[in-house]
């Protein structure tokens, strides 16, 4: 049996050694140890796909492991809060999506400040959602889907990756613009929503293209319309919502890297430079395009401005839809 004083001495010794190691790592070029990349969505979704692609290349280029840590829940706010409260050393990074900006208005109270608690690193990519239904749903166009919803009020459901997600707002904006009633069914991420859609537990979904492209190609899901301003090169025969009778309709999603506030500038610059270098590689651009992403990139300042504009844009959408989460 260990004596209490021995335990105390051991704990003090461990704390002392840990502080020495932390100080040593801080004095070494970044990164000096494995980096944790928090993806606040489940494995298998668009954010997870992109996070693993970037994490693998960052690990190879920087000779350190980038560990993907999926922390889904509460519309991405659970995982986001982890990063907000982490040490400002660059060893915990967040792969944020457009929900980061949406949640600033969607939630009445957040466990962090969307802007003040983070340092933007880089906007990595954007992606286009697509309205999909189960093949058994008797609608193949936006007009037919609207007529179906009008003929069966209160029975046509749409899934989302969670309250406050881009998919949630896409559905709210769609039903508002079309003047129809749709029942929102939130899930803890995209993969379970897709599973239930394939199983005919819900009628429709507005997922990002990378999440459902294999299912569309296999005939397990039917693509009705994309939500971008133009058609997607991955689904060239699928019209946009705007050209299908709802002019001006546009919803896009984005993915970017953030670290906690007060992270050293040299660490932010190092991550920014590395991610931009990865995104500029022709083979990576081709790979991401095949997966359904549009490559972005840029400076931390440009990403900060992008987030500011997104918060303003989505605030209008949230307020007009009436969707709020306590």
**CA-CA distance, 146 to 72, in Å (whole number)?**
32
Per residue of the chain (326 residues), give pLDDT as tens. Answer: 333 333 444 434 434 443 454 555 556 889 999 999 999 998 988 899 999 999 999 999 999 999 999 999 888 999 999 999 999 999 999 999 999 999 999 898 999 999 999 999 999 999 999 999 999 999 999 999 999 999 999 999 999 988 778 888 899 889 989 999 999 999 988 889 999 999 999 999 999 898 899 999 999 999 999 999 889 988 999 999 999 999 989 888 999 999 999 999 999 999 999 999 999 999 999 999 888 899 999 999 999 999 999 999 888 878 876 777 76
**CA-CA distance, 54 to 248, in Å (whole number)?**
33
- The strand pairing partners of 36, in sequence order, are 67, 92
Q: What φ, ψ does residue 231 adopt, rounded to 5°?
A: -70, 160
Q: Which residue has the tokens 């972005």?
A: 296
Residue ranges covered by each domain of the chain: 33-126+252-321, 130-244
Instruction: Specify whether domain 130-244 bears CATH 3.40.190.10.
Output: yes
**CA-CA distance, 277 to 61, in Å (whole number)?**
10
For residues 60 and 277, is the Cβ–Cβ distance under 8 A? no
Question: Global pTM?
Answer: 0.78
What is the CATH number that goes with domain 33-126+252-321?
Answer: 3.40.190.150
């Amino acid at each position: 049996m260990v004596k209490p004083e021995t335990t105390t001495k051991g704990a003090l010794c461990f704390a002392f050694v840990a502080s020495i190691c932390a100080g040593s790592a801080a004095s070494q070029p970044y990164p000096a140890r494995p980096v944790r990349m928090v993806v606040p969505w489940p494995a298998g979704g668009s954010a997870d796909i992109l996070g693993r692609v970037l994490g693998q290349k960052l690990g190879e280029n920087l000779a350190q492991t980038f560990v993907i840590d999926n922390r889904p829940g509460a519309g991405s706010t659970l995982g986001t809060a982890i990063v907000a409260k982490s040490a400002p050393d660059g060893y915990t990074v967040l792969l944020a999506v457009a929900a980061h900006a949406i949640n600033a208005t969607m939630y009445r109270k957040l466990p962090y400040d969307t802007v003040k608690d983070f340092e933007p690193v880089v906007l990595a990519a954007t992606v286009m959602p697509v309205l999909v239904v189960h093949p058994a749903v008797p609608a193949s166009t936006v007009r037919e889907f609207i007529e179906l919803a009008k003929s069966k009020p209160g029975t046509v459901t749409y899934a989302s990756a969670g309250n406050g997600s881009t998919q949630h707002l896409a559905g709210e904006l769609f039903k508002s613009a079309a003047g129809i009633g749709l029942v929102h069914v939130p899930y803890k991420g995209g993969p379970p929503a897709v599973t239930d859609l394939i199983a005919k537990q819900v009628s429709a979904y507005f997922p990002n293209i990378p999440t459902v492209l294999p299912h569309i190609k296999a005939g397990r899901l039917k693509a009705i319309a994309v939500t971008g301003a133009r058609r997607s090169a991955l689904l060239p025969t699928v019209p946009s919502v705007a050209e299908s009778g709802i002019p001006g309709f546009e919803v896009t999603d984005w993915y970017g890297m953030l670290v906690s506030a007060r992270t050293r500038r040299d660490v932010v610059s190092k991550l920014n430079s590395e991610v931009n270098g990865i995104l500029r590689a022709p083979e990576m651009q081709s790979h991401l395009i095949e997966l359904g992403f549009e490559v972005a990139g840029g400076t931390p300042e440009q990403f900060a401005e992008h987030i500011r504009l997104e918060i303003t844009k989505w605030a209008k959408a949230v307020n007009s839809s009436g969707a709020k989460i306590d």
